[in-house]
Amino acid sequence: MGKVYLVGGGPGDPELITLKGVRAIREADVILYDRLINNELLNHARPGADLIYCGKLPDYHTMKQETINKFLIKHAASGKVVTRLKGGDPFVFGRGGEEAQALAKNGIPFEVVPGITSGIAAPAYAGIPVTHREYGSTFAFVTGHRKEGEDEELKWESLAKGIDTLAIYMGVKNLPYIQERLLSHGKSPKTPVALVQWGTTGEQRTVTGTLNTIAEEALRHEVTNPTLIVVGEVVRLREKIAWFEKLGSDQRDGLVAETAGVY
């Protein structure tokens, strides 16, 4: 019997993976990796390791989740060390919980290696602390996907009235709907909002507005996925403490590229 590592590869900057995550890549006989991991991380794989792409695009899955689960089980059952490499953290909108369930059900040994999720890292690189004593003490991760037929009113009311800062994943496509739900449940139209596209990478850019204007700003600036939506008063701090984008494109690219050889 082999073993599976469910590894969070971080939000894009290859230096933001953990040392344990790098070790799991180095030890693997088989690596199943997603679209949003930085391909520089695959340079840590040992020669001869089998690299299997499982990337998923919005509305199009290169490999179905059931197939991924079967691959993990099959390779580990044959005695191989398998690393499932995901962007961000495997248990934050990464379906790592489903994979862990499948492995447990089939008696496959596994470990979970947490990763830095984009809900914290992308705002940090954009100069936005997700909590701050003067601006917000409550924080929530939210999926921007809509589930057909689900009654979401209670959820949106709680998010609008009970949480200071929202980090919304995969929400650009549904931004007008998100905007309308928060406004209709009492969130102030003047609430600052930031859209952080390709956070922590050399391609990062941030578009800001208010809850009342952000859908229009997203269209005007042609914002697409992958983008993290931050809603809350903490966004105001970006004006003073934004750091990464102020480095300039050459410096940003260099900072991210330098990390490829760190380990």
- Judge whether 86 counts as a catalytic residue: no
Weakest-pLDDT range from 151-155, 207-211, 234-238, 247-251: 247-251
- Residue 62: pLDDT over 90: no
- Judge whether 56 counts as a catalytic residue: yes
Query: What's the rounded mean pLDDT across residues 32-58?
Result: 91
Domain borders along the chain are 3-116, 119-247
SS3 112: strand
Residue 153 has a pLDDT of 77
What's the longest Cα–Cα distance across the chain? 57
Query: What's the rounded mean pLDDT across residues 74-99?
Result: 97
Buried b (16+ CB within 10 A) or exposed e, 200-214: bbbebebbbbbbeeb
- Judge whether 74 counts as a catalytic residue: no
* Annotated active-site residue in 74, 164, 170, 253: 170
CATH superfamily of 3-116: Tetrapyrrole methylase, N-terminal domain (3.40.1010.10)
Query: What's the rounded mean pLDDT across residues 129-146?
Result: 93
* Annotated active-site residue in 20, 56, 80, 173: 56
CATH 3.30.950.10 is the classification of domain 119-247: yes
Mean predicted lDDT score pLDDT of the chain:
92
Contact 153, 184 (CB under 8 A): no
Q: Which residues pair with 32 in a beta bridge?
A: 52, 84
The residue ranking higher by pLDDT, 252 or 37, is 37
- Residue 252: pLDDT over 90: no
SS3 200: coil
Query: What's the rounded mean pLDDT across residues 47-69?
Result: 84
Tens digit of each residue's pLDDT (9 = 90 or more) over 105-124? 999 999 999 999 999 999 99
- Residue 191: pLDDT over 70: yes
Q: Is the pTM of this model over 0.75?
A: yes
- Residue 260: pLDDT over 90: no
The residue ranking higher by pLDDT, 131 or 35, is 131
Contact 214, 177 (CB under 8 A): no
Alpha carbon distance 12, 116 (integer Å)? 10
The CA-to-CA distance between both ends of the chain, in Å, stands at: 29
* Annotated active-site residue in 34, 86, 89, 187: 34
The residue ranking higher by pLDDT, 256 or 227, is 227
